[in-house]
Amino acid sequence: MSEKSKTLPKELQLVASAHVKYIQSLDTRKDEYEYWLTEHLRLNGLYWGLTALHLLGHPEALPRTETIDFVLSCQHENGGFGAAPGHDAHMLSTVSAVQILAMIDAFDDLEARGKGKAQVGKYIANLQNRQTGTFAGDEWGEEDTRFLYGAFNALSLLGLLDLVDVDKAVDHVVACANFDGGYGVSPGAESHAGQIFTCVAALTIAGRKNLVDADRLGKWLSERQIAGGGLNGRPEKKEDVCYSWWVLSSLEMIGKTHWIDRDQLIAFILRCQDPENGGISDRPGDMVDVWHTLFGLTGLSLLEYPGLEPVDEVYCLPKSTTERILGK
Amino acid sequence: MADQGGSAHGIARTSRVRTEEQRKVELDKIAKYRELEDQVRSGVARGDTSPGLFQLTSKLLRLNPEYYTVWNVRRRLLTSGLLSKSSAASSPLTVSLTASPTATTTPPSAALSSSSLSATQPSPASPTAGRSGTTADSPAGEGKVSAADATPEAAAAAGQKKDFDVLKSELEFTIPLLLDSPKCYWIWSYRLWLLQQVIDRLSVSMARRVWQEELGLASKMLTRDRRNFHAWGYRRHVVAQLESPRLGGESMVEAEFEYTTRMIRMDLSNFSAWHSRSKLIPRLLDERGADDSTRKGFLDEELGLIREALNVGPEDQSLWYYHQFLILNLVNPVGHPTLTPAFSLEDRVTYVTREIQDIKELLEDYDDVKLIYEALLEYTLYLGQLQGRKLDGAEKDELAEWLQKLKKLDPMRNGRWTELERECGLVEMEAFET
Ligand SMILES: [Zn+2]
């Protein structure tokens, strides 16, 4: 697996097997307070961990049947998924559920043992604001382009994008654009790399990438790389491994990945590894977590670091998954 | 997904090894947490709507403000008993049921009579009472229905007073949590929901008072972290509501513009404040009814302000983005709200040329600041586009020189510089020279 990188100097090596062990250990930490405090992220965490394992070439490292059982145990009557059993349904966990089931080819189980694809599609579609085109996270109404992207991601994987008003949603994304080529969380909000990813990816799924001001956006995104090689999310902010995903995937979608320094970013991400216990942190020397582990790996994958499976820059899933489902 | 909750940002890596004693302490903490969680869950399962359950949610949320399901439990407890039932009057269904044409213009809660009376059960002590000495302990049940409230109007007023107290107390409850976790989406979202309840349930004047105080909170959060984009977004939302007819509002664009000026004076490199300013300007000029010469004067002033800032901080990206915003107004007036619609092509060319000239002067003091070269490149290309002409030889020489500088000063983005070099047709030219 990381054999190919073995020839690289030590500080440029990915400690792949330590990362696999780290991810496998996540669900065994029930004697840590943090484990219980983060239950509201359990399904997201499973998606982050499982995607990382797929990119590392170890999809089998988490047992498939138990994974499906757990995902289905989070589903509500209305089709939506909560973060864990006993947690309310929410767009974010519903998208994670769909992504997990997509990755392990388990939509049939959703049909047979869960509430079915159609019900999931209905839950998501009902969260669209039909006036403005954007989406809420749940019945309580908080709206954000993150939810719009999530809806597009999950619905297109389910083959149900026609349940929503795509044109209205596209109009909303366009209204979030700024003069610097970036996008904000809502119309009027400043450009932010996370939001740029959600907006550009949503436009890509809708087949409307032509609406992006690629040149100006590319400039803004490429300026996110700062001394030390890492990327930040906004001007004059610190670098952070998770932006290796938000910034880089956006650059990839507009064909400008070569506008930043590949080698320096690779070196930065690798410096954030915990070489003993596995996992990747936001910056060198910080606590690792599964979120930064995934986005460090997706970043490396986009940069074609040897030995990693290719990641889909729009869906944040292994390319093999989106090829199987979408025929891309 | 773009949810950053629960990830470790900026926490130093330490060894995971715990002593047996530490492990026991942690297990104990877990047991207490899970017991509390169980109590909340079984209360919900029983259909409990008592203040007791409400207080348990306070306790749990103080331990874990990311627990979104518990925020939802709290919302349901509020709407199913702790708040008066009157907000239904603002839902479309009830409006269509009230036959009287005047009913729709009455404040929502006043539109109902007997039902709001029955819903206004005597409220127990403050539902958020708990942590000692905080404002959340102030009683929220002052609006109790008494015999004197028996008329529909009095009952409605009492219902509103009670809702006011409950909602205020809830808003107080979230403050310490927000100060501790200013980036927690769930707290901000709960707070916005509360404020929507304020609009739906209270009279315009009461609601306005509450929203006015929100502006103070937004300012406070921005004083603590000038770039917190939750707080900036929150501020925009609060201002939009305060301006809306639902709160009897009027434009606050002058005051908000003033606010960005203050924030910028405090910290020139506050990109968020510059951004906010750029969004306010088109409206500001429209509302001032600015004529062409006023607009020109305004642009001159803004250019002066930003140039002054650039003179001291040319390595600051925030400043350049704002400068770019002003320049784009000149070179790309179509499709953008423009500041100076009356400018002739000649005016635009004059302005851009002058800016390029001034930026070149910056090089005298700062010849190793890459953002200066980047701006020169970009604006020179704009100038050509504006005039619909190809760049002349002298300009191309300059471009080539700046690109060489950029490659040296900013090698990280060499891919970009090389591409630009090709696009400008400079590669062949160099080949000639060598
Ligand atoms: Zn991060």
Mean pLDDT, chain B, whole residue set: 82
Token pair, residue A104, equals 């392990």
The helix or strand, by DSSP H or E, that contains position A229, with its residue range, turns out to be none
ipTM: 0.93
- For residue B400, CA distances in Å to A259, B382, B406, B408, B424 come to 18, 16, 10, 13, 9
On whether the CB atoms of residues B51 and B124 are closer than 8 A, the answer is yes
> Minimum mean pLDDT among A25-34, B31-40, B404-413: which range?
A25-34
- From A5-9, A208-212, B98-102, the region with the lowest mean pLDDT: B98-102
The pLDDT value recorded for residue B203 is 93
What DSSP designation does B293 have?
H
pLDDT for B105: 31
Higher pLDDT among residues B6 and B103, named by residue: B6
- Nearest-by-Cβ selection for B232 from A31, A142, A190: A190
What's the mean pLDDT in A34-38? 94
Q: Residue B114 has what pLDDT?
A: 30
Query: Any idea where the domains of chain B sit in the sequence?
Result: 18-95+155-202
Answer yes or no: is pLDDT of B2 > 70.
Answer: no
- In terms of pLDDT, which residue wins out, A72 or B3? A72
C-alpha span between B366 and B314 (Å, rounded): 8
The one-letter amino acid at B333: P
A162, pLDDT greater than 70: yes
Cα–Cα distance measured from residue B208 to residue B271, given in angstroms and rounded to the nearest whole number: 30
What mean pLDDT comes out for the span B380-394?
Answer: 92
Six-digit token string for A180 = 């610097």
- Tell me the mean pLDDT in the region B80-106: 45
Q: With CA atoms as reference, report the closest residue to B229 among A144, A321, A70.
A: A144
φ and ψ of A253, to 5 deg: -65, -30
**Which of the residue ranges B52-56, B182-186, B300-304 would you say has the lowest mean pLDDT?**
B182-186
How much of chain A, in percent, has pLDDT values that exceed 70?
Answer: 98
Specify the pLDDT at position A5. 58
What is the model's pLDDT at position B269?
86
Contact list, B236 vs chain A (CB under 8 Å): 188-189
DSSP 8-state symbol, A116 = -
Answer for the pair B236, B246: CB distance below 8 angstroms, yes or no.
no
Summarize pLDDT for A237-260 with one digit per residue, the tens: 899 999 989 999 999 999 999 999
Residue B90: predicted pLDDT = 39
Whole-angstrom Cα distance, residue B57 to residue B49? 12
Q: Which helix (H) or strand (E) holds A66?
A: helix A64-73
Q: Is the pTM of this model over 0.95?
A: no
pLDDT over threshold 70, residue A289: yes
**Average predicted confidence (pLDDT) for chain A:** 95
Quick one: average pLDDT of B279-285?
94
Tell me which residue in B4, B29, B419 faces A33 most closely, judged by beta carbons: B29
Instruction: Pick the residue of A32, A33, A176, A266 with the most B CBs within 10 A to test the interface with B by mutation.
Output: A33
* pLDDT, tens digit, 9 for 90 and up, residues B110-165: 222 333 323 333 333 334 333 333 333 333 443 444 555 578 888 888 888 899 99
Asked if the model's pLDDT at residue A161 lies above 60, the reply is yes
Q: Give the length of chain B.
A: 434
Evaluate if residue B94 carries a pLDDT over 90. Answer: no
Rounded Cα distance between B342 and A86, Å, is 61
Give the confidence band of B334 by pLDDT, cuts at 50, 70, 90.
low
Percent residues over pLDDT 90 in chain B: 63
Residues 22-61 of chain A with CB under 8 A from chain B are: 31-33, 36-41, 44-45, 47
- In the predicted model, what is the mean pLDDT of residues B406-419? 97
- Residue B92 banded pLDDT, cuts 50, 70, 90: very low
Query: Which of B30, B279, B318 lies nearest to residue A33, judging by beta carbons?
Result: B30
Lowest average pLDDT, out of A288-292, B149-153, B248-252, goes to B149-153
Task: Supply the pLDDT for residue B1.
Answer: 37
Nearest 5 degrees, angle CA A28-CA A32-CA A34? 105
CA of A296 to the centre of ligand 1 (A): 10
Cβ atoms of residues A83 and A38 within 8 Å? no
Q: Which residues are CB-contacts of B279 (< 8 A; sequence separation ≥ 6)?
A: A188
Q: Are the C-beta atoms of A315 and A153 separated by less than 8 Å?
A: yes
CATH number for domain B18-95+155-202, candidates 1.10.10.10, 1.25.40.120, 1.10.760.10, 3.40.47.40: 1.25.40.120
3 state SS of B99: coil
